[in-house]
Structures are given as structure tokens and as C-alpha cells.
Structure 1
Amino acid sequence: MTQSSGARIALSTAIIAGALALTYAPLPGLQQTVTVVSGSELQEPLAALEPRFEQANPNVDLVIKIQGSQDVVNNYLDDRNDFKATVLIPANGDLLEELRQRWQTQTGESPFYEEPQPVAKTLLVAIAWPERGKALFPNGQFQWSRLEQAIEQANWGAIGGNPAWGSFDFVTTDPTRSNSGQLTLTLWSEAALNTSALSPAALNAPPVQSLFAQVKSSVYQPPRSTDILLQEFITRGPNDADIATVYESIALHRWEQSGTTQNQSYEIYYLDRTVETVSTAAILRQDVSSGEAKAARTFLEFLAAPEQQTVFVQHGFRPVNPSVDLESVPNSPWSQGIPGAEVNPPSQISLPPDRQVVTEVIRLWQRAN
């Protein structure tokens, strides 16, 4: 090979390499930032998926912000964020419907580019440290009436537990800021009134008002989000936190951590009637360009694909993509022998309460003393 032909080959190779670099490198004019504001229940799976998405979409900078689910809606509507949101993913799709109604009342326009899309599903469950759970629910079944009795009596000795355990400590999230706290009080109110059709008017019945006062007086500084609650529950242990209501997803995901921290792992109890809550994503219109919306749409399509739904299952969520099977996913928490966990729980599963009921739950909580 002559020197000149070698030089020509080297030049051709350089040109091809340069062309490929231009083809695949992010172009400054096309770079998009997608800021996703999510409820805390999705914090860890989204953190795991963020680098995977950015690697597949180098022109998109994905920014994840975490808030309590009610805060996701309120902070956006009240313009409390110090950043521009592109996508909202609260724990419950009905929160987005609340946002839509309030936005349309104020502006007459839709706040979203298109209909919100489901991302992942979970259920509200209870967790308890093993000895505490057996003492509170001797038949192995969760009962709101037993929980209410324990809060009224306020100590374990009065409800059949070991007096050395001291005070009875129930934990739930702040219902003014978190979806799981709202669901807890809604289901508990239904049990107190022996109904499955709760109305705002029914919530003002004396048994419910008394219940709210008892719970509020016994829950000290309820956390703003469910994942924060569970981490505190694990850290505090059975001397300061006996039973809590949380999402099945993070209860499964953090179960191993509880055993490491406390030398014992909590058990899961499915409520006698529970609520399926669907984390749902919406692309916002305000201050979001068509290019940013297109990038956000790509992200939502990415989340719905089987490969990403598998990641959600590994973090304890139930998939919204029907092609993904809970038990066949590698490292599925449903295959790890977690006490109480069931693929097909015995509970009756209901839709979330309508927003009028939730609004009244929040108002009653704020007024309870």
C-alpha cells in the first residue's frame, strides 16, 4: 500500500467517524430537559430507570423531583415550585383529575397535552412487627376495629399484648400531603360506618369525627410521604412504631432492609377491603414546548414497555402492562417468601374514593383536635 493510499484511507475513516459522531451526538439545538415530579413511592424505580432512559435518548436530560402526592398537585397549582415541571406522576390518577378540574375552573383550558397514562399499580396494606401483629390480630386477619381499640386504650397491656411493650404506636402519613394517609382515613371511616359507599355528608357523622380526633391525637408529626414513613418505621423499630399503613410496593421493597436494621422483619397484612392506587403520569401544557412534550411522551412510552415494567415489579409494584407476570420476573419480591405477601390477595379491591370525599377527609383532619 502506498503512502498516499494509506493517507486517503485514514482520511476516509476520519470522515466516517466524524459523520457518525454528528449522527449520534446530542445536538445543542435539540437538547430537551424533562422535569418529572413524582410521588415518593416511585423514587427508587425512577432513579434506577433514569440512566437507562438517558442512555437510550442522549438528547434528553431527565430530572426527577420527589414530593408527597398531594403536594405534587398543590405545589403545581399554587406555583410553589422553584423549577418548571414537565410531567407530574402522583400516586393516584384521581389527583390529576382534581388538578384538571381546578385548573379548568381557573383558566378554562386543559392543563395537559393529552390524557394521563398509568405507570404502575399498588395496594394499600398494613405492616406490623411480628409479635405486635400477632397480639393485635390474633386470627391473622387485619381489622380496623382492633386498630381503633388499640388507639383508644393506648397501651399494649390493655389490648392483650405484653405490658412491657409500653404504649401502642400507630403510624400513617399526613393526609393533607399524602395519598396513603387519605386512603387510610377513607377506608377506616367506611369501616366505622359499616359502608362501602362513603359520601362527604356521611363523614360528618359522630363516629367518624371521634375517629379522626383519636387518630390525630395519637399520630405525632405524621410524615409527608409514604416512603419517608416506612424508612422512619424501620429506623424507630417496635418500641416506637408498631403498625403502619403503607403501599404494598414499598413494603415489599424495603422488607429486607427492616430485617437488617432491626434483626427482625415486619409482616404484611392485607386490609379486609383495600384500594388499588395507580401512579399516573400527565404531560403539562404550561410553559412546556412541543419539543419538550415530545420528549416527555417518549419517556412515558419508555416506562410502559415490558423491560421497564419489570423494574417496577422488582421494586414491589404491580405492572400496568399485562404482558408482565409478577412471579416470572427475576428477583420478584413475590418469589422471596415475604411473610404475608400474596400475588392474589384475599382483599376486596376497590377504586379510589372520589375527590369530594378526599377533600372532606382533609378538611376533617385539619379541624380534628
Structure 2
Amino acid sequence: MKNKRKSQQKNRIIISLGIILASLGLAYAPIPGLQQTVIIVSGSELQEPLKQLETQFEQENPNIKLELKFQGSQEIVNKFIDNQNDFTPTILIPANGEKLRELSTRYKATNSAEPFYDQPQPIAKTILVGIAWQERGKVLFPDGRFRWDKVEKAMQAGNWSGIGGASDWGSFDFVTTNPTRSNSGQLTMSLWAQSKVGGNLNSATFNNSAVESLFGLVKRSVYQPPRSTDILLEEFIAKGANDADVATVYESIALHRWEQAGKTQGKPYQIYYLNPTIETISTAAIVRRNVNGGTANAARKFLDFLNQKEQQAVFVQYGFRPANNSVDLKTVPNSPWNQNIPGAEVTPAVTKLSPPDTQIFGEVQRLWERAE
């Protein structure tokens, strides 16, 4: 009888342990039929930090699967409006919030419903900068300041010998992204047009003959402009001087890839802060079209995750300025602002403008397309 009671007690312990283990399994393992898939379409500038954070988020949230897609910021808008994706986006993260306002305006023109579940959320910040290989930057910008008129004169001259450079440097090659597909190309041409007219941008700016000539010059000079900033900088580094001399890119990606430039070309490029420049804030929105409430809640969880201090520090490590202002650029481990990158500044003494509105972006695209 005593042995029987011991056996029964042992069985109860085993059953209890089994229940506990089963409960833990239900808590931490994906439940078939309940897993949510969240498809994120982002500008390519966020590709590397999002891929790193994807793994961490899925480990912490096993019932949510993330799928990352990357497009140029203007492509994100156009493909969503025209329903040209072969997948159903859940979250859109173009390089700046103005793109989401454009999307909202265009969507509401043919639909009665709101396009987004919630107010769009800022994810990370950066600004437009210039870069140049150091030896050539010293010739083009002897005072260390980026100037649009100097770049324009170099493009008109066509080669370095015409502007004081060595004859064996060959042609002068400026690079920017395609303004019909990429946010950084649109910002570049907006700032350049603004410097040309010496005032604020409006629709009349793009009917100015000097601005029209500028667009034609740049379009003729930039052969097959890349569709995204990340692709542009990879090509800039791979080609090196003589094929790519000066470019406009985001500060974030310029900081992140400077070490790669040193390894590939044996020397880093110099960063030049534009004055004025444009601050661009990668902004996320959860779309309503074909996205149910459960998937939207999973998407909210991911956006909350991205805005936490630990994840914001990851963006800083990739050269972004945080959307969460409690994060200090200098104290983040492996911060690029602690690596003596040529030209990099924590607080550059420049004027930061907001991105142009939808109408100006439309004028930039229109003028680029018709430029010859």
C-alpha cells in the first residue's frame, strides 16, 4: 500500500511537470493558425538595421513573422497606389513622412476610406550630405564647404583639368539617385534649384529657364542614376575616383559605409554638410487595404519595438539620428560619431529644412522627366 501511494505521488509530479512544460510551450512557441505575417516595405536606407532587428523581434515574438521588402521611397508610394506589388504590404516606411502624406492624398482621391490605421510614426532621422574623395574634394571645395555652384561649374567643364584638378583625373563625375524613384534624388534637385533661384521653392521655380537648364545638365551628366541611395553608395565605392567623384547621399549611409570605402579604395571619402540641408525622417504607417485587425495589432507591436531605446541605439550604430530623443549619439556603443570619420559632426552648424511638400516633389519629377 505504501509503495502504491509513492507511485501515485510520483505520477502526479510527472503529470504536473508535463502540464507546466506544455504551458511554457504554448507561451513561447508559435501556435498553428495564430501566427501573423507582417510585410514591411521600406526605403533601402533602412535595409541593414531592419534586417538585424528582424531576427531579434521574431525571437521575442514567435507568433509574428516579418517579411522585409525594399524599394525606392517614391516607388513605395507609386506601387501601393497603383496596386503593383505581388504581395500585400502591412507597413510602409518611406524615407520621409511627406511621402505618406502624398500617398494619403492620392489614395483619398479615388477611395472614401483612410489609407492608414493610425497616425504615422517616426522611426529614424538623417540629413542629406555631400561626399567626395578627399583629394578631389580639396580642389572642388577649397574652403571645406559644399557649394552647388562649384559642382555645376565642374559639370559644365566636364573634366578636372578645367577646374584646377590633375589632368590624369579625367572626367568630372557627379552622382545622384533618380528623382522619379528616390527621395534623395528629389531632395538633391530641390536644394539645387533653391540655390539657383536664391529663395523659397514654389511651382514658378520650375518654370525658371536657369532651373530648367540645370535639370538638363544634371540629367545629361548622371548616367543611369541608381534607384536608391544604398545602391548609389555601393557603386560610388566600387567605382572609386575617375568614375564617381562627388555624390549626394544620406548622412546615415555615408557614415555607415565609410570604412568599406577605406578598405575598397585604400582611402575614405570626405563628408560635407550642405547648408541648408533637408532633414528626412523615415516614417512608418500601417495600411488598411487588405490588412485585418489582428495583423494591424502585430504591426503595432513591431513599431513599438522599433521606438524603444535599445532598438533606436541600433539605428545610431548604422549612422541614423534617433527618433527617440533620449538616445545620445556619443554614448551608443560603436557609434560612428566616435570613429573620427572625415567631416562627420554631431551637431553641424547648418540650417535644417523640412522636406518639400507633395506639389514640389511633383514638379521635380515632372521637370526631370522632360529635361533633355
TM-score bracket relative to the smaller structure:
over 0.9
1:33 alignment partner in structure 2: 37
Q: Distance in 1 between matches of 2:32 and 2:15?
A: 26
1:344 to 342, 347, 354: 347
2:134 alignment partner in structure 1: 130
1:290 to 289, 293, 315: 293
Q: Distance in 1 between matches of 2:19 and 2:99?
A: 53
What amino acid maps onto 2:251 in structure 1? E
TM superposition shift of 1:63:
0.5
- Of residues 170-179 and 345-354 in structure 1, the stretch that sits farther from structure 2 once superposed is 345-354
1:274 alignment partner in structure 2: 277
Q: Distance in 1 between matches of 2:369 and 2:343?
A: 34
**SS of the residue 2:329 aligns to:** coil
What amino acid maps onto 2:120 in structure 1? P
**SS of the residue 1:352 aligns to:** coil
**SS of the residue 2:110 aligns to:** helix
Structure 1, residues 262-320: CA drift from partner, whole Å, max 9, x if none? 10111100012100000000000000000000000111111111010000000000001
TM superposition shift of 1:4:
4.4
2:14 alignment partner in structure 1: 10
Q: Distance in 1 between matches of 2:125 and 2:209?
A: 34
TM superposition shift of 1:151:
0.5
Q: Does 2:324 align with 1:321? A: yes
* Ranges of 4+ aligned residues in structure 1 off by more than 6 Å: none
2:234 to 228, 231, 234: 231
Structural RMSD (CA): 1.0
TM superposition shift of 1:28:
2.0
Q: Does 2:341 align with 1:332? A: no
**SS of the residue 1:341 aligns to:** coil
What amino acid maps onto 1:352 in structure 2? P
| Percent identity of paired positions between Structure 1 and Structure 2 | 60
1:199 to 198, 202, 226: 202
2:245 to 242, 245, 251: 242
**SS of the residue 2:33 aligns to:** helix
TM superposition shift of 1:118:
0.4
Please report the TM-score for the alignment, with normalisation by the length of structure 1: 0.98
TM superposition shift of 1:24:
2.4
1:87 alignment partner in structure 2: 91
**SS of the residue 1:106 aligns to:** coil
**SS of the residue 2:124 aligns to:** strand
**SS of the residue 1:238 aligns to:** coil
Confirm or deny: 8 A CA contact 2:193 2:205 kept in the other structure. Answer: no
Structure 1, residues 240-262: CA drift from partner, whole Å, max 9, x if none? 00010000000000010000111
Q: Does 2:150 align with 1:146? A: yes
Q: Distance in 2 between matches of 1:236 and 1:46?
A: 27
Task: Give runs of aligned pairs for residues 44-63 of structure 1, distance below 5 A.
Answer: 44-63=48-67
Q: Distance in 2 between matches of 1:107 and 1:23?
A: 40
TM superposition shift of 1:26:
1.7
TM superposition shift of 1:7:
3.5
